[in-house]
Structure 1
């Protein structure tokens, strides 16, 4: 049985430690994930600010290019005839070289269209523009009002330019076209420059791509940064087939604005849409490309409409989504290290705990065994004392008879009466003890009566209806219970004068329980009500006492489903009332 209890205790400790380890593991995991998310958010905000600064710088630089195109348009206007019919393509070739333009094209308005009528580039000639939205709108507004109402792009007096973009006439490179018309000619001047010649170097040095590249190099956690156009991301790359059957890409409507997109997941479109529409961060924990990663989608508002980020209809978007991919393996490695450390600590704590528990239980068992041994010895001594008193009375019976006979023969009646009274009292007292009905109680009472004599303690006993006492208690427990209560009372009364050294023990059978009442003189009885009398180690008798007597009594009473309480029924007298059910 004891082995099973030990086994159960060890299993419980192991289970508790396992639960604690599991809780700590997942708490640490959540903490690290939160920390990683906060780190990603912090990095994202820094990237967001840097991207906006870089993009604004690029926009400003591009506007300078727009002013250059307007200046080139004005210079071309002064060099050419106002009538498009009088201008030759050769003139445009020469002007393009002098003004450092890629090419110069002249747009002529016809009855139902606007066409590329003259150009330094033969590939430009003959293209109709009515399908070029919203460029065709801009051309008509320049011809009609000399100003453009389109919200995006760069608008200057008599001039408008869109972003760097591919074109249906030149699909191999990106250009920026400027359109100028002030009413002095019957054509729109259209000089344009190459992205590679103007803005590529700037973007490579300070652009968003450079910023993303440097951020990835400086952060071991990040695997990829992507700037996503949420309007066109679900549609994929938008392409147009030119008149010559060539595929024309649309840079401004590219789903991936900047960065790379190699960590693709099936939920990306839904997450981008959710982040864009709810304007809230979205997190995805997944295995991508064979690697455990955490992917975060953060929406970024665009406060000024720009021509470099358009939706599928050609309108500027008001928000893009920044996607960051972080290596979850860093968290897992940290968790693994902490898990090993925790396991080592728990193993050490477990061993120490088991040693401590073993020591505590062993000490408790030794203490309990020692108490039981002492109680057994006390019980045996008290029983032996009781039987010895009975044998002594039988042994001295002849002497008592002879003494009575002698006193009677001598006619010494007074001495005879005194002697007979003393003898009768002794016999009655012993008979009262024997008639208690419980050898254990009889032995305790007998031993305490003998102890009371040298202490000058008036020890009174009163037993009712205990002739057939069957308490269901072990004799040792009964001895410990009454012995501790009586000893506790003796320790209290010996502090007072002999006339006040009173201790009473009464026992009676009630309806369903047996009641024991130990009363003794106590001058500070009222103060005891607020004291932890039954607490182990507490003693009101100073450091010379262990403070275990009443604690042991309470433990025994509770073991047998009984109760014990303190009562003060008369001045300077304290009583302990014990009830044991039967």
Structure 2
């Protein structure tokens, strides 16, 4: 009878130990799920904030850009009126400079057909003379349509009668300076007027402020958010030799920064663009733990968010030790209680 009771008590101890262990594992698993959910929630809020900033910034940039385009249309038409009836050879650089000042544009170039090309023949800037557009893709298409007195049908830029202005772009001969280039041709001359201005306002609103400011605030105010970048998928995947001509399509990292580079980032960005699904990876860097999310956006763009896992890992470790200590204490109390019961069972006064 004593041995039977002792075996029963041992079984009870084992059952209680199993229950404590299972409870610990379930609790730890639920904690892990809650931490991941918290991280995802922080990431989702950050993504939505950046999306909103991008939309607001784009709307502001579009408004400024349209005003500049209308200004360029007025200036281009005015310059053409002033030059109408003139032979290109009779127009001097000095005269173009005076017209540029009068119509408040940065520079003026005059383009002319030359065989199967359209080339700059006169300009306020000597470095522009002789510039060819034959290999400029849709820009050349727009030039050819203008000088053929056809409607400009390219999808990029802004067009109206006798006029086309390209998207914000870097000058062919000037690094790190961005312009709006406008082109006017109405068939009354044998040259096309090209007036252009520096486009710092649009560039700053679109690429230097707005989303970039929002990203800085998110990184500063949220410990879990290490860094955020809005990546232009095709430009990023093109590699280091990629040339930036049009910022909106050619800058690899449009907003924020991406310094925590991980092997395979390019593949995950490519997968996010092609599959339209969030990609993720966990990694270590300088002794810290991170989780990186790749959220696809419209226009082949991807928001990359690096989450710092150290705080959550510390919390998990504290929870684990607390749970282990609590479980161990519980087991000790159970063992103590069972031993007390076992002693009573083994005492001479107990039943035989």
Asked if TM exceeds 0.5, the reply is: yes
- Secondary structure at the aligned position of 1:236 is classed as coil
Instruction: Name 2:69's counterpart in structure 1.
Output: 66
Distance 2:208 2:250 in 1: 23
Confirm whether residue 29 of structure 1 aligns to residue 32 of structure 2.
yes
TM-score norm. by structure 1 comes to: 0.54
Distance 1:98 1:140 in 2: 28
**Alignment gaps of 5+ in structure 1:** 241-247, 302-317, 373-582
- Secondary structure at the aligned position of 2:111 is classed as strand
Confirm whether residue 145 of structure 1 aligns to residue 126 of structure 2.
no
Larger Rg: 1
Confirm whether residue 281 of structure 1 aligns to residue 278 of structure 2.
yes
Instruction: Name 1:125's counterpart in structure 2.
Output: 129
Instruction: Name 1:41's counterpart in structure 2.
Output: 44
Q: Give the deviation of 1:19 after TM superposition.
A: 4.9
Q: Give the deviation of 1:92 after TM superposition.
A: 1.4
Relative contact order (alpha carbons < 8 A, sep ≥ 6): 1 or 2 greater? 2
Q: Cα–Cα, structure 1 residues 69 and 364, in superposed 2: closer, same or farther, change >3 Å? A: farther
- Secondary structure at the aligned position of 2:175 is classed as coil
Instruction: Name 2:261's counterpart in structure 1.
Output: 264
Do 1:228 and 1:321's aligned partners in 2 also have CA atoms closer than 8 Å?
yes
Q: Give the deviation of 1:90 after TM superposition.
A: 0.8
Instruction: Name 1:217's counterpart in structure 2.
Output: 220
Q: Give the deviation of 1:49 after TM superposition.
A: 2.8
Do 1:233 and 1:256's aligned partners in 2 also have CA atoms closer than 8 Å?
yes
Q: Give the deviation of 1:297 after TM superposition.
A: 0.8
Q: Which moved more, 1:7-16 or 1:355-364?
A: 7-16
Do 1:58 and 1:207's aligned partners in 2 also have CA atoms closer than 8 Å?
no
Q: Give the deviation of 1:261 after TM superposition.
A: 1.6
Q: Give the deviation of 1:255 after TM superposition.
A: 2.2
1:344 equivalent among 309, 321, 325: 325
**Alignment gaps of 5+ in structure 2:** none
Instruction: Name 1:298's counterpart in structure 2.
Output: 295
Distance 2:169 2:56 in 1: 22
Do 1:238 and 1:249's aligned partners in 2 also have CA atoms closer than 8 Å?
no
Instruction: Name 2:335's counterpart in structure 1.
Output: 354
Instruction: Name 2:316's counterpart in structure 1.
Output: 335
Do 2:134 and 2:140's aligned partners in 1 also have CA atoms closer than 8 Å?
yes
- Secondary structure at the aligned position of 1:199 is classed as helix
- Secondary structure at the aligned position of 1:232 is classed as helix
2:56 equivalent among 50, 53, 56: 53
Q: Cα–Cα, structure 1 residues 54 and 26, in superposed 2: closer, same or farther, change >3 Å? A: same
Instruction: Name 2:171's counterpart in structure 1.
Output: 167
Instruction: Name 2:95's counterpart in structure 1.
Output: 91
Q: Give the deviation of 1:354 after TM superposition.
A: 2.9
- Secondary structure at the aligned position of 1:233 is classed as helix
Distance 1:163 1:259 in 2: 22
TM-score norm. by structure 2 comes to: 0.87
Q: Give the deviation of 1:360 after TM superposition.
A: 4.5
Q: Give the deviation of 1:211 after TM superposition.
A: 2.4
Alignment of 1:527-546 (within 5 A): none
Instruction: Name 2:107's counterpart in structure 1.
Output: 103
Q: Give the deviation of 1:11 after TM superposition.
A: 6.9
Distance 2:280 2:351 in 1: 66
**C-alpha deviations, 1:450-497, integer Å up to 9, x for none?**
xxxxxxxxxxxxxxxxxxxxxxxxxxxxxxxxxxxxxxxxxxxxxxxx
Q: Give the deviation of 1:353 after TM superposition.
A: 2.7
- Secondary structure at the aligned position of 1:101 is classed as coil
Do 1:106 and 1:188's aligned partners in 2 also have CA atoms closer than 8 Å?
yes
Q: Cα–Cα, structure 1 residues 208 and 42, in superposed 2: closer, same or farther, change >3 Å? A: closer
Confirm whether residue 187 of structure 1 aligns to residue 191 of structure 2.
yes
Do 1:51 and 1:211's aligned partners in 2 also have CA atoms closer than 8 Å?
no
Do 2:219 and 2:227's aligned partners in 1 also have CA atoms closer than 8 Å?
yes
Q: Give the deviation of 1:289 after TM superposition.
A: 5.1
- Secondary structure at the aligned position of 1:295 is classed as strand
Confirm whether residue 233 of structure 1 aligns to residue 236 of structure 2.
yes
Distance 2:240 2:69 in 1: 27
